[in-house]
Amino acid sequence: MRNLVLIVASFCVTIVGWGLYVPMLRWGQVDMSLTGVPARWRPFVCVGLAYFLIGVIVPVVLLKLRGERGAWTITGIIYSLLGGTLGALGALGIILAINFGGNPIYVAPLVFGSAPVVNSFLTIYLAGKMRDIGPLFLAGLVMVTLGAVTVLVFAPHKKGQPPAATVAAEAAPAPADATAAAPVRQPGNKASRFVLQLLSVAMVALCWGSYGPTLHKGQAAMMHSRLRPLLCVGLAYFAIAVLVPNLLLIGVVDEASRFTWSGTTWSLLAGAAGAVGALGIIMAFNFGGRPVYVMPLVFGGAPVVATLTSTVSDDLLGDLGPMFLAGLILVIAGSAMVLVFAPKGHAPAPVAAPAAPTPQSHPPAEVPAKDGAGI
């Protein structure tokens, strides 16, 4: 009973953490912007710093103080760094989707609905089980597709008002030279921004869907160590989400944003929520939880938390229509079916018990113990 409570508590931490990740990241992007268009690179830096603190500093301290089973291997390091790279690029995809005008109300369901599909297909392909795909798995794919379209079409928005980014831009204080001032709007037309939103969501789905199988290979190559792969993930986040954006901000891009207390805090909290959510998954498995029910519950609960948080913060809770809710349910149920009914590998053959030692004709000679020696 105690283990069950710990399992539920662990994946609930993940549901809340991953559910709050997208809305908090959007708040950070908006608060760092100087034009109303959500910022890209400075919030990305904060996410990378949060992952570095949780994914590098904490594992290094624990490995130093307590140690852990497993060992460093070249293969494990490569796969774990690749997994961290995929995770960081997925985080960038979320930032880009919001930067192009996406709202967490529908971005989160699309991401958490499509990533399990990519994950399942990649796992099936690597296991050589493509021919074992069954009708329930395909039905889950259809449900995810229909739900995604419904969520996009019926996402709530404030009637009679322009997009939030445009409103914020027009409300921004005018510069000293009023003659040169003009409301800054998001570049491109509505159709092109919508396409860029979908491409960004697809980028997240591909990266985060590939993250799990890749990191699993790294963990297996390090003899099922948990802290060592997490450390590699944190290092990859630091390189991609901290070093690269800072280099771009110094000499390549000129983004109209700045570090603010509120924007920095929300972005750091978003990164911390993502890292703590990943830790919750690890803890759920450590306490005996199984992926067959832990992952569907996580991918089903996180978009609900994200959608409710965003609708409340945007004062749109009363505008959630039945078609949008139906689409949200389809996405959640479809992603759960994809995870549950994906072809599974055959159970490993039982390992034969070691043969009993052959009795010796005479007892072995005793080895004298050394002074101070212990087990």
Distance CA 215, CA 218 (A): 5
**For a pLDDT cut of 70, what percent of the chain falls above it?**
83
Please name which of 150, 107, 115 lies closest in space to residue 329, comparing C-alpha atoms: 150
Total residue count of the chain as it appears in this document: 375
Q: Which two tokens stand for residue 54?
A: 């949780």
Let me know: does 117 contact 144? Beta carbons within 8 Å: yes
Least confident interval from 28-37, 45-54, 219-228, 323-332: 219-228
Distance CA 130, CA 122 (A): 10
Q: Which two tokens stand for residue 66?
A: 């307590």
Q: If pLDDT is split at 50, 70 and 90, which confidence band does 250 have?
A: confident
Q: If pLDDT is split at 50, 70 and 90, which confidence band does 1 have?
A: low
Residue 257, helix vs strand vs coil = strand
pLDDT of residue 135: 93
Per-residue pLDDT for 355 more than 50? no
Q: Residue 257 forms beta bridges with which residues?
A: 33
pTM for the model stands at: 0.81
pLDDT of residue 187: 55
pLDDT of residue 345: 56
pLDDT of residue 89: 96
pLDDT of residue 362: 45
User: pLDDT tens across 154-168, in order?
Assistant: 998 765 444 433 333
pLDDT of residue 370: 39
Q: Which two tokens stand for residue 335?
A: 């992603």
Distance CA 241, CA 100 (A): 19
User: pLDDT tens across 118-140, in order?
Assistant: 988 888 888 888 888 999 999 99
Helix 74-99 vs helix 104-126: angle between axes, to the nearest 10 degrees? 150
In sequence order, the 6+-apart residues with CB closer than 8 A to the CB of 139 are 334, 337
User: pLDDT tens across 278-332, in order?
Assistant: 888 878 877 888 777 788 888 888 999 999 999 999 888 888 889 999 999 999 9
User: pLDDT tens across 91-116, in order?
Assistant: 999 999 999 999 999 999 999 999 98
pLDDT of residue 305: 94
pLDDT of residue 372: 39
**Mean pLDDT score across all residues of the chain:** 82
User: pLDDT tens across 44-70, in order?
Assistant: 999 999 999 988 998 899 898 988 888
Q: If pLDDT is split at 50, 70 and 90, which confidence band does 17 have?
A: very high
Please name which of 70, 124, 114 lies closest in space to residue 94, comparing C-alpha atoms: 114
